[in-house]
Amino acid sequence: MSPFASNALETLIDKLHDLLSDRQRRTQAFLIRFNAALRERLLPAPEHPHNGDECLYPNRIGNFSKGLPHDDTGEVDSEAYETLIHALTTGDPADFEKIPLGAIANSLTLKRDLHLI
């Protein structure tokens, strides 16, 4: 066998070895990620305790209300907040569509949709 043929064969063997090594490495990486995801999925959902602010402050100060209408003092509109809570409870997309938006959120929605005109 000529030295050239030997070098070509060695190169081919090296490439096949790299290919197998690459495939094995990718398979091993996939199995690591899959097993990690499976272990994570089997864990119970963590408790999510609340701090009681919704009951403590009937005007909803301190609660998340970004994007909802607010009055001149900065307090959230109670009806809008209740609509948000209802939508979160039901998970129904139609209920989310009923949530009134504050002035800034409305203008952002308008700007976002202007390209459709």
pLDDT by residue (tens digit) across 15-38?
877 777 788 888 888 999 999 999
pLDDT at residue 72 above 60?
Answer: yes
pLDDT at residue 55 above 60?
Answer: yes
pLDDT at residue 3 above 70?
Answer: no
Residue in this structure with the two tokens 């109670």, named with its chain if needed: 78
Residue in this structure with the two tokens 């063997």, named with its chain if needed: 13
* pLDDT value at residue 110: 46
Sequence-ordered list of residues with C-beta below 8 angstroms from that of 80, at least 6 positions apart, any chain: 65, 68, 69, 99, 100
Query: How crowded is the C-beta side of 57, counted as CA atoms within 13 Å?
Result: 11
Mean pLDDT lowest among 5-19, 52-66, 75-89: 5-19
